[in-house]
Structure 1
Amino acid sequence: MREDSTPRRRLAWAAGVVVALGAIAAVWMAIPPRLDEAKTPGFSGTAEAGLVAKGRYVAQLGDCVACHTAPGGPEMAGGRALETPFGTIYSTNITPDPQQGIGGWSYAAFDRAMRQGVAADGHRLYPAMPYPSYAKMSDDDMAALWAYLRQGVPAVAQANKPLGMHFPFDQRWGLAYWDAVFADKTPFVPNPQKDAIWNRGAYLVQGLGHCGACHTPRGIGFQELAMSDMGSKGALFLSGAQVEHWNAVELRDLWTVPDTVEMLKTGQNRFATASGSMTDVILHSTQHVSDPDLVAIATYLKSLPSATPEAALPAPVAASAAASATETPVAAYTSRGGLGYMQFCTDCHRPDGGGVKGVFPALAGNPTVAAKDPATLIHITLTGWKTASTGAHPRVYTMPAFARLSDAEIAEILSYVRTSWGQGAGAVDAAAVADARKSLDPKIDKTPFETPRLARLLDAPNAAQLVRGMRLNAETHILLPKNVGNDLNCTSCHLNAGTVADGSPYVGVSAFFPSYAPRAGKVITMEDRINGCFRRSMNGKPLPPDSDDMKAMVAYFDWMKGTTKKEDKVPGRGVGKVDPKIVPNVANGEKVYGAQCAVCHGQSGEGLKDAAGRTVYPPLWGDRSFNIGAGMARTYTAAAFVKRNMPIGFHEKFPLGQGGLSDQDAVDVAEYFTHQDRPDFPDKVKDWPKDPKPKDARY
């Protein structure tokens, strides 16, 4: 599905139109037509409630609110700024206010504006208003929409903002010539050779849905090259387009009917998740469309033959079928892009590119990944992403902007993604990222903590050992099953293989060892500290200190040390602190857990597994979780971690969108999950032999 908003795509159209108008305006002059209101029948009286309700549905089909409601402003009162390179167009007030809105218009004036792009006072509308598509509306739908806008929308006396276009692009009269040359206002005509479902879908896609405004390529005058699937250029209709570093993907024969219905209804399906401002389209429009109409739309789109058919799509995976799980590509550990992906992307998109169903999109089979042009992939990486809030998936998940990474780093990671799951898609060039960055001017995270780059492991003389050490952190319970007694990995607590600020990073840590540990009551080594995690957090057995795996883990820690000295202070070290004077509210903690944590860690703290039974997110209590001797079993330690690192995908903080709960909520939810049943720690009696025991210790 398209990644950009209807207003954004229309703006590119309008920007192109005004370029053409600039040339026309230099030669032509015209007198705009005016409406003789005296000869135009009005639309008087009170419409039936059913007609108003139908009009509301028509407005949702047309997504009128997308352009005609400013962010935070009253519905349909206009004022949304539509930026173009030649100035700003502001959407207009279409509430029934008689002075500022359309309350003084006749039905005929409204019908003409919708179908011909001419307002009641005769001025021409910029084709950011998709009147060539709305020209296909039936008379019944137009009348219903009019009834809704007159009687179903509150009148708002908000003045329309003046046009902010620069000369000569502010000269609307030239639009008459654009209309004469380019505007196809052919009414919708049902195809007698197709059934009612197909024709309903064709009507909605070509008309009210105005899908071609984004998904159809444009010509020299920036007009849609085809307004339907008929005619000599019909094969171009919905064949995909690009604007402003976004790809509006080809919709012709893209997915199965159920897959398309699921996307439009919920904002995601097994192949992709809507992103960018397409989320607004789904929020305000398609999630409200009836199931029969969604099936009709999907049936019509599926029927359109593609000149570039996608590779055969995989069959839906049954809930009980886990045998077809994919594996992590070998290049994940042998290439800079692979290591970059493993560092920054796997928490959400998973090592195998499978994503997390209902939460984070899969990359395997995703049309954005496989697109010939990687523009959308680059755009999302630089500027971030949000899911649509729908009835099926009300919670919004985010991907932060990765503009902090260099153009080369982004190109390497995206090239790895496309090589691994792009069905033959080409590599991404750093120059393309640089061009997009220049145009998009993305916001760059500037926190002082500099995330170490795992890609640089390959530059070290002991690269193989370091990569092994990194993998032992990321895949601990898989690679060391004899030493790990639960479903946790080191990265369950040390995010992104220990590279995230306030996520218990490994940066500089080995410089501080050997050091005195109050819990042990003695000076311990780096190996002792690692084995403490194996015994407590992973409820397992220690690694032999002289084993190759222990040496690999220590080597990885030493590489993370960099130039840090024992007397240095490392910004972002540890997990921070939470005021221990905060009194926990367990009842609120249970509510917070249900709202913020259960989707990843399970309603009963059991964690989340994929179709193959592999752990995606670890359990927080029960036999497969950490034992009572772990630091995370303490309320205020857990609360500090949660405050800064959980949940992920919650907002736009680099690199995981992590953290965001209040101190109170963090303490409450920490108290709730730390005091659930979990394994015992037999050696607990030996802890804190010399120093005071923390008040939140579980024993």
Structure 2
Amino acid sequence: MSTAEPVDSGDRALMARGQYLATAADCGACHTSPHQGEPMAGGYAIASPMGSIYASNITPSPTAGIGGYSEAEFARAVREGINKQGQHLYPAMPYPSYAKISDEDIHALYVWFMHGVRPVDVAAPQTRLPFPFNLRASMAVWNLLFAENTRFVPSPTASDEVNRGDYLVNALAHCDTCHTPRNLLMGQQNDQPLAGGSLGSWYAPDITPDVHSGIGGWSKAELVQYLKTGHVKGKAQAAGPMAEAVEHSLQHLTDPDINAIVAYLQQVPASGGGAARSRDGFGQPSSTEQQRRGDNKADDAGWQIYSSTCAACHQPDGQGTARYPSLFHNTATGAEQADNLIATILFGVQRKVQDEAVAMPAFGPAAAWTDRLSDRQVADVSNYVLQQYGNPALHVTEQQVQTVREGGETPLLVRLTRPWVLTAVVIVAGAMVAGGLALTRRKRRRYGTKK
């Protein structure tokens, strides 16, 4: 049995509030495994530069989940990343943002998880990261550097709507976790809030009001539409982690909460990212694909792949259809980095909004309904799309595609902890110590000092 008090009919409103808060916090996206996984039973492998981190079972099962947690223990796990057993959680669980969640919301969440979620008595797989990341105690040092265990404090100079948006963006919905850049130790660079950051294979763009680098050229209505549907014609469509956020969380939020998020984002300081042109401002229709048809001498590998694989949906001139987006005036093709274009080709697009599935096949892995594209082929078709419809200043290499396919650039922190690097560090450190001792002995012999 759970340690929470029984819920009577008078607590139904509290239960409903807890469920809404869990949706806003997007708990289900990670703690419910895809492909018919039991709600909140864990098992979903979250890719990280250190390896796969498995989401835990957070159903009220007393044996496999959190059924034995008191409210204080639940709050500590959510806000501080420390479970009932005293083990540190990895920040794939966004507890640095959740630390700001209010006591009232923690209580509502606790009541819903303990009484509104069906217990599942099956333990999730254990996370087993390589040394030294398997030493969970090391997270205590990381937390001291980058995690502030403080509650959200409304700004006295901001409106109620903006304060609500601040709470959602930086606490409950944890938008800052993805859209704020990270430093060498993978801590948030909070001096550049919401200025964009790498998510491995994907890139979470600048969402400050910078006119070119961010969302300064978006209207309020466009931002609301994007958060609710993941699509704005002539601007952007959600894929990867953002598609998950729209599907599992944002589309279910109330209109006042969506409006609050937009109100907050539109008044934060612009990043000053320095882009010369907005991401959705590139490109125009192109007749190149149609002109080259039937030309046996055409040796443009990118055009050949586009013509045979992409044109049927995105149209020969790239303007798309009612179902498939245009490739010009598109933030994926007009960005300053090609990560999201490459990742979209490799991994496809999957999101379900208002019971309507939006899908683009993944051309990276072999699948029954698509031909797998090699790294060279993905680079070729990416460059064709960029030249014809997007940012022509970019050039995608085969190595870039391989990097995105494998999960993105390896952070310096991970590179420095590889076994051969650690061995080299130990050897160099040992040599320096030995050299220092030898120098000290020579000086003592030379000057006749004794100690």
- TM-score normalised per structure 2: 0.76
Conserved? CA contact 2:77–2:83, under 8 Å:
yes
Residues 81/432 of structure 1: CA separation in 2 closer, same or farther (3 Å cut): closer
- Aligned match of 2:178 in 210, 214, 233? 214
Q: Does the alignment pair 1:412 with 2:380? A: yes
Displacement of 1:313: 8.6
Residues 379/147 of structure 1: CA separation in 2 closer, same or farther (3 Å cut): same
Q: What residue in structure 1 maps to residue 199 of structure 2? A: 243
Residues 239/435 of structure 1: CA separation in 2 closer, same or farther (3 Å cut): same
- Aligned match of 1:390 in 327, 336, 353? 353
Q: What residue in structure 2 maps to residue 20 of structure 1? A: none
Q: What residue in structure 1 maps to residue 59 of structure 2? A: 95
Conserved? CA contact 1:371–1:425, under 8 Å:
no
Q: Does the alignment pair 1:124 with 2:80? A: no
Per-residue CA deviation, residues 123-163 of structure 1 (Å, 9 max, x unaligned), is 21111111110011122211111111011111222234334
Residue 395 of structure 1: SS of its match in structure 2?
strand
Displacement of 1:60: 0.3
Displacement of 1:277: 4.5
Kindly provide the amino acid, as one letter, of the partner of residue 205 in structure 2. V
Find the aligned partners of 2:401 and 2:136 in 1 and give their Cα distance.
37
Conserved? CA contact 2:4–2:114, under 8 Å:
no
Residue 260 of structure 1: SS of its match in structure 2?
helix
Kindly provide the amino acid, as one letter, of the partner of residue 223 in structure 2. T
- Aligned match of 1:46 in 7, 11, 25? 7
Find the aligned partners of 1:137 and 1:249 in 2 and give their Cα distance.
25
Find the aligned partners of 1:377 and 1:313 in 2 and give their Cα distance.
12
Displacement of 1:340: 4.2
Per-residue CA deviation, residues 640-663 of structure 1 (Å, 9 max, x unaligned), is xxxxxxxxxxxxxxxxxxxxxxxx
List runs of 5+ in structure 2 lacking aligned partners: 210-214, 293-297, 365-370, 409-451
Q: What residue in structure 2 maps to residue 260 of structure 1? A: 223
Kindly provide the amino acid, as one letter, of the partner of residue 388 in structure 1. R
Residues 312/81 of structure 1: CA separation in 2 closer, same or farther (3 Å cut): closer
Per-residue CA deviation, residues 85-109 of structure 1 (Å, 9 max, x unaligned), is 6554322221122232222211111
Residue 203 of structure 2: SS of its match in structure 1?
strand
Displacement of 1:326: 5.7
Conserved? CA contact 1:56–1:148, under 8 Å:
yes
Q: What residue in structure 2 maps to residue 76 of structure 1? A: 40
Kindly provide the amino acid, as one letter, of the partner of residue 348 in structure 1. C
Q: Where do residues 404-483 of structure 1 align in structure 2 (5 Å cutoff)? A: 404-423=372-391, 425-437=393-405
Find the aligned partners of 1:423 and 1:175 in 2 and give their Cα distance.
40
Per-residue CA deviation, residues 206-262 of structure 1 (Å, 9 max, x unaligned), is 011111222111112211111xxxxxx1xx111111232321111223232222221
Residues 183/331 of structure 1: CA separation in 2 closer, same or farther (3 Å cut): same
Find the aligned partners of 1:87 and 1:414 in 2 and give their Cα distance.
28
Q: What residue in structure 2 maps to residue 279 of structure 1? A: 243
Q: Where do residues 342-421 of structure 1 align in structure 2 (5 Å cutoff)? A: 342-357=307-322, 359-381=323-345, 383-391=346-354, 394-401=356-363, 404-421=372-389
Find the aligned partners of 1:100 and 1:437 in 2 and give their Cα distance.
34
Residues 310/273 of structure 1: CA separation in 2 closer, same or farther (3 Å cut): farther
Kindly provide the amino acid, as one letter, of the partner of residue 46 in structure 1. V
Q: What residue in structure 2 maps to residue 137 of structure 1? A: 101
Q: What residue in structure 2 maps to residue 319 of structure 1? A: none
Kindly provide the amino acid, as one letter, of the partner of residue 347 in structure 1. A
Q: Where do residues 6-25 of structure 1 align in structure 2 (5 Å cutoff)? A: none
Q: Does the alignment pair 1:60 with 2:23? A: yes
Residue 118 of structure 1: SS of its match in structure 2?
coil
**CA-atom RMSD in angstroms:** 2.8
Q: What residue in structure 2 maps to residue 638 of structure 1? A: none
Conserved? CA contact 1:256–1:302, under 8 Å:
no
Residues 438/224 of structure 1: CA separation in 2 closer, same or farther (3 Å cut): closer
- TM-score normalised per structure 1: 0.50
Residue 137 of structure 1: SS of its match in structure 2?
coil
Displacement of 1:374: 0.6
Find the aligned partners of 2:94 and 2:401 in 1 and give their Cα distance.
31
Residues 425/332 of structure 1: CA separation in 2 closer, same or farther (3 Å cut): farther
Displacement of 1:384: 3.5
Q: What residue in structure 2 maps to residue 341 of structure 1? A: 306
Residue 158 of structure 1: SS of its match in structure 2?
coil
Kindly provide the amino acid, as one letter, of the partner of residue 5 in structure 2. S
Displacement of 1:354: 2.2
Residues 434/131 of structure 1: CA separation in 2 closer, same or farther (3 Å cut): closer
Conserved? CA contact 1:241–1:247, under 8 Å:
yes
Find the aligned partners of 1:287 and 1:439 in 2 and give their Cα distance.
27
Residues 51/269 of structure 1: CA separation in 2 closer, same or farther (3 Å cut): same
Q: What residue in structure 2 maps to residue 157 of structure 1? A: 121
Per-residue CA deviation, residues 42-90 of structure 1 (Å, 9 max, x unaligned), is 7534261001001100000011111212233211122223355655432
Find the aligned partners of 1:313 and 1:242 in 2 and give their Cα distance.
17
Residues 116/434 of structure 1: CA separation in 2 closer, same or farther (3 Å cut): closer
Q: What residue in structure 1 maps to residue 441 of structure 2? A: none
Conserved? CA contact 2:285–2:319, under 8 Å:
no
Q: In percent, how many aligned pairs have the same letter?
A: 37
Find the aligned partners of 1:74 and 1:314 in 2 and give their Cα distance.
39
Q: What residue in structure 1 maps to residue 74 of structure 2? A: 110
Per mean C-alpha deviation after superposition, the further-off stretch among 59-68 and 87-96 is 87-96
Residue 352 of structure 2: SS of its match in structure 1?
coil
Find the aligned partners of 2:159 and 2:242 in 1 and give their Cα distance.
30
Find the aligned partners of 1:219 and 1:327 in 2 and give their Cα distance.
39
Per-residue CA deviation, residues 614-672 of structure 1 (Å, 9 max, x unaligned), is xxxxxxxxxxxxxxxxxxxxxxxxxxxxxxxxxxxxxxxxxxxxxxxxxxxxxxxxxxx
- Aligned match of 1:170 in 134, 142, 153? 134
Residue 198 of structure 1: SS of its match in structure 2?
helix
Higher Rg: 1
Find the aligned partners of 2:74 and 2:184 in 1 and give their Cα distance.
30
Residue 207 of structure 1: SS of its match in structure 2?
helix
Q: Where do residues 590-605 of structure 1 align in structure 2 (5 Å cutoff)? A: none
Q: What residue in structure 1 maps to residue 253 of structure 2? A: 289
Q: Does the alignment pair 1:306 with 2:271? A: yes
Conserved? CA contact 2:306–2:381, under 8 Å:
yes
Find the aligned partners of 1:299 and 1:310 in 2 and give their Cα distance.
25
Conserved? CA contact 1:370–1:425, under 8 Å:
no
Conserved? CA contact 1:249–1:367, under 8 Å:
no
